[in-house]
């Protein structure tokens, strides 16, 4: 049967599936069209990509409110405004410098939870083997553990960890098969995936008797000393080490990010967090994720929007690094 095709349309709209190049942008109706992160090409063909965006829709590891499985879709939807103009304050379109594609979501079988860690590791291994960097949209924070395993294999262990969160996620857990979004970095330290001496946690405001040697810039310290102080601490601690960035959206105060599973009062503002993220350009970033957006608890999409801003700024950090090398 001969397919019936729509007549040729102008070079505008549905760029995720129509734009002929993985570079650049074209006009979109902000409120319509095929969704991908920042309207990037939606494809499983990642050859030649500099950065691969993908979602990991998991929330089986939550200890309180589920819902983060809907996070990747919400972040993509919230990103449409950011694709409309050059991101502030960068003044350039990262897609003019980096080949960024959206490869969709990692396939998970929620009815066989024991298969999930391996599925995430294999998903990451395939992307990293292509030579691309990963920008991953969660999903609950457990996903960072198998992602770290894959990144440590690719870039060498131990990595430096830059961790934005209300929770330290280093509570003891010696069960190798547990799915728990509060113990990943306990395991990562014990397994030598991350180096505590060159790792830093920002925005912490929950207690743990043992922070396992990681540097902690708790939320009160950031409020008292400022975001620029926190940024300088991060740059000094991480130094020239290969670093992985993980941003749990509950690092932000619930006033700025209500749509998350375990909100904690007293957190960073969007402005404080974005200032720190935007200052990471001097560092050697090998991977990054934004996690714990739970749309059922959000209001007017402000949590998803904050997450989309963080993810966009992380892309801009990589683009700024590339531009500086030219």
Annotated binding site for Mn(2+): 141, 165, 167, 169, 248, 250
CA trace torsion 104, 106, 111, 113 (10° rounding): -150
Nearest Cα residue to 149 out of 53, 244, 52, 72:
244
- Measured from the Cβ of residue 156, the count of other Cβ atoms closer than 10 Å reads 11
Kindly report the backbone phi and psi dihedral angles of residue 90, in degrees, each rounded to the nearest multiple of 5, phi listed first: -70, -40
Burial class (CB in 10 A: 0-12, 13-18, 19+), 77: middle
What SS3 class is residue 289?
strand
- Measured from the Cβ of residue 216, the count of other Cβ atoms closer than 10 Å reads 16
Query: Within its chain, how far is the Cα of 128 from the centroid?
Result: 15
CB 194 within 8 A of CB 185: yes
Q: Annotated binding site: which residue ranges?
A: 141, 165, 167, 169, 248, 250
Give CA separation, 170 vs 22, 128, 187, 209, 215, in Å: 39, 26, 8, 10, 12
């Amino acid at each position: 049967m001969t397919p019936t095709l729509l007549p040729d349309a102008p070079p505008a709209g549905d760029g995720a599936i129509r734009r002929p190049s993985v570079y650049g942008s074209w006009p979109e109706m902000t409120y319509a069209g095929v969704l991908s992160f920042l309207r990037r090409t939606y494809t499983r063909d990642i050859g030649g990509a500099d950065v691969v965006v993908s979602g990991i829709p998991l929330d089986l590891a939550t200890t309180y409110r589920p819902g983060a499985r809907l996070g990747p879709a919400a972040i993509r939807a919230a990103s449409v405004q950011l694709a409309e103009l050059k991101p502030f304050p960068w003044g350039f379109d990262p897609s003019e410098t980096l080949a960024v594609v959206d490869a969709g979501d990692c396939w998970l079988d929620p009815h066989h939870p024991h298969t999930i860690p391996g599925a995430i590791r294999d998903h990451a291994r395939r992307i990293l083997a292509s030579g691309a960097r990963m920008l991953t949209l969660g999903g609950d924070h457990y996903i960072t553990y198998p992602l770290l395993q894959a990144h440590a294999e690719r870039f060498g262990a131990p990595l430096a960890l830059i961790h934005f969160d209300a929770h330290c996620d280093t509570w003891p857990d010696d069960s190798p098969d547990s799915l728990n979004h509060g113990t990943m970095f306990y395991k990562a330290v014990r397994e030598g995936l991350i180096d505590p001496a060159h790792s830093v946690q920002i925005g912490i405001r929950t207690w743990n008797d043992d922070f396992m040697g990681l540097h902690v810039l708790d939320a009160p310290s950031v409020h008292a000393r400022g975001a620029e102080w926190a940024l300088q601490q991060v740059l000094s601690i991480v130094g020239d080490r290969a670093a992985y960035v993980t941003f749990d959206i509950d690092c932000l105060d619930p006033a700025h990010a209500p749509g998350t599973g375990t909100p904690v009062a007293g957190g960073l503002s969007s402005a404080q967090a974005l200032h720190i993220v935007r200052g990471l350009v001097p560092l050697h970033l090998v991977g990054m994720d934004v996690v714990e957006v739970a749309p059922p608890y959000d209001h007017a999409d402000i949590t998803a929007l904050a997450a989309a801003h963080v993810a966009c700024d992380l892309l801009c950090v990589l683009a700024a690094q590339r531009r500086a090398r030219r």
